[in-house]
Amino acid sequence: MKSNKMDAVGKMLIGKKLTIAFAESATAGRLSAEFSMIDHAGEFLKGGIACYDAQLKQDLLQVDHTLIKTYTPESMEVTRAISLGLSRLIPADIHIGITGLTAPGGSETEEKPVGTVFIYATSKGGLVFSERLNFTGEREEIVSATVEACADLLIDYLSAID
């Protein structure tokens, strides 16, 4: 269910004539779906890729296997790489990559428990924002919190640019 924050981001993107695309692992397309529910989404939403599987990150988004092996699929390094890989596939002003651990069975450790999420956003000018976030709860709660956090980060970013 889209929030007022999502509507605000959509209006800001339209007002600034900016477009956005997503490469989603942990959220598996939820951000793209939420943004598609905003009025006039076609004016700013270019699309998204759900890249839940590490092999898809490598094959489609050209993330180096060594990067995944060294840092794990759920890491800021891989999140940066999927954002950059996305920029080669979908033309947009802002490219956002998301990875993380929404349930047990990934690369969780004591230092990186379930609920750890990485968001990396780029634009033609370079890094827009990158955040490591930690949430608690069930998978649905972690994914919903990630969507809301991404909206907050976008509001902060879009508010600061002309």
**49 CB burial (10 A radius; 0-12, 13-18, 19+):** buried
| CATH number, residue 124 | 3.90.950.20
Nearest to 133 by CA among 160, 103, 112, 154: 112
* Beta strand residue intervals within the chain, DSSP E: 20-24, 45-50, 94-100, 116-123, 126-134
Residue numbers of the domain that contains 111 = 4-160
Q: Provide the CA 148 distance to its chain's centre, in angstroms.
A: 11
Residue by residue, pLDDT tens for the chain (162 residues) are 557 999 999 999 999 999 999 999 999 999 999 999 999 999 999 999 999 999 999 999 999 999 999 999 999 999 999 999 999 999 999 999 999 999 998 898 999 999 999 999 999 878 999 999 999 999 999 999 999 999 999 999 999 997
pTM (2 d.p.): 0.95
Q: How far apart are CA 108 and CA 125, in angstroms?
A: 33
As for how many domains the chain has, the answer is 1
